[in-house]
Structure 1
């Protein structure tokens, strides 16, 4: 299985989603974007995890998978963890590979005839943060005094608020 680990260059929020800009995706995932632009429906799944690097830095990972053999791992370092609360609140994330959408704004670009964004919408991105929270809580109990873990636990506690129920 091919796994690519990337770090966001920019994190922000719109009215509807957390916006994550990773310019390298435009080239690295061009085959996937071509399939999206051709109108193909592509199933994906994702999970949240916590890893510690060789330099003892904790990273929160969002691993996205599709087509059984491909995946993308987005790594969030300590400075980015505050966005986990926003992700839980917005429940959607847009991974963007093109600064043009941020610079010019999507409404202006949508008027262009051949607008094909290099962006992936992840719905229900908060799914799995509860498991990550429980894992971090366990680690804090076993590894007392690790400031990064304590901070992450406090941040993730903010993602545990009840979600509104939508009935159809």
Structure 2
């Protein structure tokens, strides 16, 4: 990961955004959004949009010198990680509190997407329209995810804006 030029404000679960629009509240680290995630293998095949919408966890929000807020997200999936993916299983209680599928789920920490906020690929959650946020990962679980990402030292994200 690259070092942010300016980190986002502290997490505030009460400030969950509803519909992304110009000037909307920035998502916060630990927030889980509904997003059209573009897997690296999809990107390498030439796709510019993910095949399906899925929950993603915000891990970092930065404001580079150009002043455009950048949001970095990692995907949640019910598909067990492959041998070349590092992942953290999402506890049942966390899935339940966020209103996610009851199927086993993992946060993949070996790849991520970066996009300018508000992004075109943020999607309303089916049955909760116009909400785009599922809520927040518990702080201790988010720290575990964040620390695992840093320890893995993964490379460049799939940059959705270029």
TM-score (norm. length: structure 2): 0.27
Q: Higher relative contact order at CA 8 Å, sep ≥6: structure 1 or structure 2? A: 2
Larger helix share, 1 or 2? 1
Larger of the two Rg values belongs to structure: 1
TM-score (norm 1): 0.26
